[in-house]
Structure 1
Amino acid sequence: MTNHAINQSAPARGAVLTKAAMRAGARLGLSGKLLSDVLGLSEAQVSRMRNGEADLGENTKAFELAALLVRVFRSLDGIVGGDETAARAWITSENTALGARPIDRMVSIQGLADVVTYLDARRAPI
């Protein structure tokens, strides 16, 4: 692979993950403020991403957090069978195993990782 091909793949990965994270946030009913808190970005930056005017930079903390958010969505979507109402209800309901509402945990890096781990364990075959 040439350096030119490597340079082209980085923006593409950022664009793909940006789209996926914005869709996941929308389908989970996350406000711009909440999505900015989860990703560690400003509300203005999230707004630009939602409008297709900006992408996540690869190898950034926001890129990694967005990947975790997409994992949360995909795992939860698999558990609730695509029912967005059920997914939104789950992230906003108290969860004794997580010690809080999942959405409240997701605004910290450790909390987001804990939600991913919890959902991954629920999806694992018995």
Structure 2
Amino acid sequence: MATAQFAPETNQNRVLSEAVVRVAGCWQLTNEQLGAILGLSPATASRLRSGGFQLDRSGKAFELGQYLIRLFRSLDALMGSDDRAAISWLKTANLDLDARPIDLIRSIRGLCDVTDYVDDYRAQV
């Protein structure tokens, strides 16, 4: 009996795309916010949520999606898997970052800075 073999890249695209959609749902991100974070249009972010689009491993949006997942995992560990606490942290002005993290992660630099900040904070705990 033959078994279906999926190309590893296609599987990675699907897995990361689904994970990004779950993060967007947990953090209650709009399509505009998700698109800005990934460098996609709001319409493409909507298609991503509905399963009509997948992040491509060779694209910049895939890399940004990996950073978004890394931020989610770090913040989730720091907040004890409390999604409401994570959302509150994202939407509250942070004195160390001089802005609200939700606003910063809309740029590549901001996403990297916020991710590093959370990782560094976790390392101290």
TM-score in terms of structure 2 length = 0.92
Structure 2 match to 1:45: 44
Tell me the residue number matched to 1:77.
Answer: 76
Aligned mates of 1:86, 1:33 — CA distance in 2 = 22
Output the CA distance in 2 between the equivalents of 1:60 and 1:26: 22
Aligned counterpart, 2:60: 61
The CA deviation string for residues 73-102 of structure 1, in whole angstroms up to 9 with x for no partner, is: 111100111111100000000001111000
Any stretches of 5+ residues in structure 1 without a counterpart? none
Distance 1:30 1:75 in 2: 18
Give how far 1:29 is off: 1.4
More divergent stretch after superposition (105-114 vs 47-56): 47-56
Q: Distance in 2 between matches of 1:92 and 1:18?
A: 24
Segments of 4+ moved more than 4 angstroms:
none
CA distance in 2, matches of 1:16, 1:125: 31
- Structure 2: how far apart are the matches of 1:102 and 1:11? 31
Percent of aligned positions that are identical: 41
Q: Partner of 1:27 in structure 2?
A: 26
Partner of 1:124: helix, strand, or coil?
Answer: helix
Gaps of 5+ in 2: none
TM-score by length of 1: 0.91
RMSD: 1.3
Output the CA distance in 2 between the equivalents of 1:36 and 1:49.
10
